């Protein structure tokens, strides 16, 4: 029960941070995705089987809070945590050596995949693919978003580790 309450509060904080606080400080195309990065960090820490239900809840809650089509972020989060679980079962994920390189790759892949899905959903709503590249963004803005997401991921990763240790939450 304690795990559910703590996870729900942290998720609520991440959604509020993404929808209300980050747009004030990081306006424009460099806006990172705090909710995607917390889902990625949780998937690395808890694993696919322990986090799949939370990823669905996080996706639905984020879609409702961000006024995006319901299911858009659920799809993104599920694919991202499956991608992470595929590699985490085969490789060591630590904050040193090759694990650190994998974390950078995870963030890059999650950010680009998220941008692709969001742009496709927007293009579908407009019923034309002509606006797809405008919605996806130029390579410079995607690179800035990746850099912001790298900072967000490592911040969330460290914070989640401390929260789990403080509240004595088992995986």
Q: Exposure of 42 by Cβ count < 10 A (0-12 exposed, 13-18 middle, 19+ buried)? A: buried
> What pLDDT is stored for residue 55 in this prediction?
95
Average confidence (pLDDT) over 11-30: 83
pLDDT the model gives residue 135: 66
Average pLDDT over residues 21-43: 84
pLDDT at 76: 96
Cα–Cα distance between 74 and 68 in angstroms, integer?
A: 11
CA distance 136 to 115: 6
Distance CA 59, CA 75 (A): 8
**CA–CA separation, 156 and 107 (whole Å):** 12
- Percent above pLDDT 70 for the chain: 88
Lowest-confidence region among 36-45, 53-62, 128-137, 138-147: 128-137
Say yes or no to pLDDT of 43 above 80: yes
Helix intervals (H) in the chain: 2-16, 22-25, 34-46, 48-65, 72-88, 98-126, 132-136, 139-166
pLDDT exceeds 90 at position 132? no
95-126 per-position pLDDT tens digit: 677 778 889 999 999 999 998 898 888 777 77
d(CA 152, CA 53): 22
pLDDT above 90 coverage of the chain, percent: 50
Residue-level pLDDT at 125: 72
**pLDDT above 80: residue 51:** yes
pLDDT for 102 = 86
Which residue's structure tokens are 């941008």? 115
Compute how many other C-beta atoms are within 10 angstroms of the C-beta atom of residue 40. Answer: 28
CA distance 133 to 55: 28
Q: Global pTM?
A: 0.91
């Amino acid at each position: 029960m304690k795990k559910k309450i703590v996870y729900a509060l942290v998720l609520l904080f991440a959604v509020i941070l993404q929808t209300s606080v980050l747009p004030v400080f990081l306006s424009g195309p460099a806006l990172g995705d705090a909710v995607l990065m917390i889902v990625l960090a949780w998937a690395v820490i808890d694993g696919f089987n322990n986090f799949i239900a939370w990823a669905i809840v996080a996706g639905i809650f984020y879609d409702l809070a961000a006024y995006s089509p319901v299911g858009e972020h659920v799809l993104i989060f599920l694919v991202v945590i499956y991608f992470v679980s595929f590699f985490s079962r085969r490789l060591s994920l630590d904050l040193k050596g090759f694990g650190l390189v994998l974390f950078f790759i995870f963030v890059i892949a999650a950010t680009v995949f998220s941008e692709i899905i969001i742009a496709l959903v927007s293009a579908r709503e407009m019923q034309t693919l002509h606006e797809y590249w405008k919605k996806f963004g130029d390579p410079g803005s995607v690179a800035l978003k990746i850099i912001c997401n790298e900072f967000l991921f490592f911040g969330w990763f460290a914070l989640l580790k401390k929260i789990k240790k403080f509240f004595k939450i088992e995986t």
